[in-house]
Structure 1
Amino acid sequence: MKKNIIIISLLFLANQFFAQDKIGNKIYAYGNVENSIIGKTIIYYGFSDPKSEKKIVEKFQDLGVDAISWNKLFIPSSKYSNYEVNNELANNEISTVILIKSNGKSNYTQSYANTNYNGLTNSLNTSSSSSSIIGNMGIIFEIYNRKSNFNKPVAVVNANANNSWGTAGSERGLILKIVDRVVSALKDEKAFNPVGYFTATETNYSTIITDNPNNVDALFQRALLRSQKSEGLKEAIDDYNTIINLEGKAKPTIFKMSTVYNNKAYCLIQLGNYEEALRMVNKALELDQSEWYIWDTRGELYYNLNKFQECVTDMDKSLSIKESNNSLYYRGLAKIKLGQKEEGCKDLSKSKLLGNSSASKEIETLCN
Structure 2
Amino acid sequence: MKKTISLILLLLSTNQFFAQDKIGNKIYAYGNVENSIIGKTIIYYGFSDPKSEKKIVEKFQGLGVDAISWNKLFIPSSKYSDYEVNNELANNEISTVILIKSNGKSNYTQSYANTNYNGLTNSLNTSSSSSSIIGNMGIIFEIYNRKSNFNKPVAVVNANANNSWGVAGSERGLVLKIVDRVISALEDEKAFNPVGYFTATETDYSNIVKDNSKNVDALFQRALVRSQKNEGLKGAIEDYNTIISLEGKARPTIFKMSTVYNNKAYCLIQLGNYEEALPLVNKAVELDQTEWYIWDTRGELYYKLNKFQECIVDMDKSIAIKESNNSLYYRGLAKIKLDQKEDGCKDLSKSKSLGNSFASKELETLCN
Decide: shared fold, TM above 0.5: yes
Q: Write the mapping of 1:13-162 to structure 2, written as runs, cut at 5 A.
A: 14=11, 15=15, 17-77=17-77, 80-162=80-162
Q: Which is further off, 281-290 or 118-127?
A: 118-127
Residues 326-365 of structure 1, C-alpha deviation per residue, up to 9 Å, x if partnerless? 1111111112222222111111111111111111111112
Task: State the Cα distance separating 1:141 from its structure 2 match.
Answer: 0.5
Q: Is the 8 A contact 1:106 1:137 kept in 2?
A: yes
Residues 101-152 of structure 1, C-alpha deviation per residue, up to 9 Å, x if partnerless? 1122222222222222222233332222222211211111111112111221
Specify the code of the residue in structure 2 equivalent to 1:20: Q
Q: Distance in 2 between matches of 1:272 and 1:357?
A: 21
Task: State the Cα distance separating 1:292 from its structure 2 match.
Answer: 1.0
Q: Write the mapping of 1:163-202 to structure 2, written as runs, cut at 5 A.
A: 163-202=163-202
In structure 1, the residue matched to 2:290 is 290
Specify the code of the residue in structure 1 equivalent to 2:58: E
Q: Is the 8 A contact 2:100 2:140 kept in 1?
A: yes
Q: Is the 8 A contact 2:87 2:253 kept in 1?
A: no
Q: Is the 8 A contact 1:281 1:297 kept in 2?
A: yes
Q: Distance in 2 between matches of 1:235 and 1:311?
A: 28
SS in 1 for 2:8: coil
SS in 2 for 1:251: coil
Q: Distance in 1 between matches of 2:158 and 2:106?
A: 16
Q: Distance in 2 between matches of 1:108 and 1:291?
A: 60
After superposition, the Cα gap between the structure-2 partners of 1:31 and 1:234, relative to the gap in structure 1 and judged at 3 Å, is same
Q: Is the 8 A contact 1:56 1:179 kept in 2?
A: yes
Q: Distance in 2 between matches of 1:124 and 1:111?
A: 19
In structure 1, the residue matched to 2:8 is 12
In structure 2, the residue matched to 1:366 is 366
TM-score (norm. length: structure 1)? 0.92
Q: Is the 8 A contact 1:33 1:154 kept in 2?
A: yes
Q: Is the 8 A contact 2:90 2:253 kept in 1?
A: no
Q: Distance in 1 between matches of 2:319 and 2:78?
A: 30
In structure 1, the residue matched to 2:281 is 281
Residues 241-290 of structure 1, C-alpha deviation per residue, up to 9 Å, x if partnerless? 01101111222222111110010011111122222211111111222111
Q: Determine what percentage of the aligned residue pairs are the same residue.
A: 90
Q: Distance in 1 between matches of 2:206 and 2:165?
A: 53
After superposition, the Cα gap between the structure-2 partners of 1:342 and 1:84, relative to the gap in structure 1 and judged at 3 Å, is farther
Q: Is the 8 A contact 1:150 1:253 kept in 2?
A: no
Q: Is the 8 A contact 1:20 1:30 kept in 2?
A: yes
Q: Distance in 2 between matches of 1:18 and 1:344?
A: 69
Q: Which is further off, 340-349 or 123-132?
A: 123-132
Q: Which is further off, 16-25 or 101-110?
A: 16-25
Q: Distance in 2 between matches of 1:168 and 1:134?
A: 10
Extract unaligned runs of 5+ from structure 1: 1-7
**How many pairs does the alignment contain?**
361
Extract unaligned runs of 5+ from structure 2: none
Q: Distance in 2 between matches of 1:64 and 1:96?
A: 14
SS in 2 for 1:175: helix
Q: Distance in 1 between matches of 2:243 and 2:90?
A: 20
In structure 2, the residue matched to 1:4 is none
Q: Distance in 2 between matches of 1:274 and 1:61?
A: 49
SS in 1 for 2:312: helix
